[in-house]
């Protein structure tokens, strides 16, 4: 019998990339669980199904808002599953600052509901993977890189709710002996990303000639620093972990390259062969505490045998060309 995988947030940006890799590299049957809000968009799944009509027979889409426990209809619709990849989450930092309780409901309560579904209804579950973020560690001073089990220091409500959901996962693994692992990753980019995210914003601003605002230090002399990883690499790392994990462990999914956001914008402008009109701004108005730099160590996963395949330069070239050919996704 084929393996069956439940992907929460499957119509989201990272969720749909995960489903695309599962469809193309495995023979698994996939159930996408989504509520279709600001981030979720079924057209992502429709687009990838157009690539191969036979994939339609292996993908089932189930609607449910994880703020509520899964009812019998939804449970029966999902059916038996062997793996759960919990990728569903509210993820925009500025919105979490404006509406923190919404993020508590989506990220903490939603995680508790899917954990409890798994605890009660998935007795033969092989793996529950919780997809978290490098932001739980907070800002990383220059020269500091956080490992998987370093202390948390959330700088915003989004990060705090992801950290809270992680602790729920740890408690369920300890209390109920569930097969749970946790991943952290950094800024993910790729095709079909929501236009509110930074790389789509850069592409749109450069194309239109509008001024791009780039978060900086308070002195407005240095742009914020981040690691960017292509969504295909993220999905491949999760696939790797599905065959190489230790229950109860945490794993950082890390890119090889750290870049400041001004250099990132310049790279994209160069690919587009257009000038970059920008300003460095201290984001204290929208983010009272802005994390200037994030950094996590990828040594653990590297030592297991996984490494990034798509360089930042190659990935940016890919996503810029894809966006130019699919302008409807940039609006």
- Give me the active site residues, please: 134-135, 158
Q: How far is CA 169 from CA 93, 118, 164, 237, in A?
A: 22, 11, 9, 20
> Rounded to whole angstroms, how far apart are CA atoms 108 and 118?
15
Hey, which bits of the chain come out as E strands? 4-8, 29-34, 59-63, 83-86, 127-133, 180-185, 187-189, 212-215, 225-230, 250-253, 258-260, 278-281
Decide: 188 and 319 in contact? Cβ < 8 Å: no
Distance CA 163, CA 37 (A): 22
Overall size of the chain counted in residues: 331
Q: What angle do CA 293, 187, 135 make, to 5 degrees?
A: 55
Alpha helices in 41-197 (DSSP H): 42-51, 72-78, 93-98, 100-103, 110-121, 157-176
């Amino acid at each position: 019998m084929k393996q069956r995988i439940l992907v929460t947030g499957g119509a989201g940006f990272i969720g749909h990339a995960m489903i695309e890799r599962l469809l193309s590299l495995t023979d698994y049957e996939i159930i996408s669980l989504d509520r279709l809000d600001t981030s979720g968009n079924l057209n992502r799944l429709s687009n990838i199904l157009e690539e191969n009509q036979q994939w339609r027979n292996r993908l089932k889409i189930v609607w449910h808002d994880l703020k509520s426990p899964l009812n019998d209809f939804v449970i029966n619709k999902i059916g038996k599953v062997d793996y759960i990849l919990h990728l569903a989450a509210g993820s925009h930092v500025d919105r979490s600052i404006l509406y923190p309780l919404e993020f508590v409901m989506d990220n903490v309560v939603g995680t508790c509901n899917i954990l409890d579904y798994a605890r009660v209804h998935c007795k033969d579950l092989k793996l529950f993977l919780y997809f978290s973020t490098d932001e739980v560690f907070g800002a990383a001073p220059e020269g500091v890189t956080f490992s998987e089990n370093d202390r948390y220091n959330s700088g915003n409500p989004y990060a705090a709710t992801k950290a809270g959901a992680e602790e729920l996962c740890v408690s369920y693994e300890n209390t109920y002996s569930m097969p749970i692992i946790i991943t952290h990753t950094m800024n993910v980019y790729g095709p079909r990303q929501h236009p509110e995210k930074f790389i789509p914003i850069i592409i749109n601003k450069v194309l239109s000639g509008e001024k791009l605002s780039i978060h900086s230090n308070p002195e407005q002399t240095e742009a914020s620093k981040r690691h960017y990883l292509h969504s295909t690499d993220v999905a491949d790392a999760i696939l790797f972990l599905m065959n190489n994990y230790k229950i109860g462990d945490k794993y950082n999914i890390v890119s090889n390259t750290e870049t400041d956001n001004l250099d990132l914008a310049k790279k994209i402008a160069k690919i587009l062969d257009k000038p970059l009109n920008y300003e460095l701004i201290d984001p204290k108005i929208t983010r009272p505490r802005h994390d200037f730099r994030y950094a996590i160590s990828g040594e653990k996963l590297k030592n297991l045998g996984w490494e990034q395949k798509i360089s930042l330069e190659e990935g940016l070239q890919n996503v810029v060309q894809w966006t130019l050919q699919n302008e409807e996704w940039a609006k």
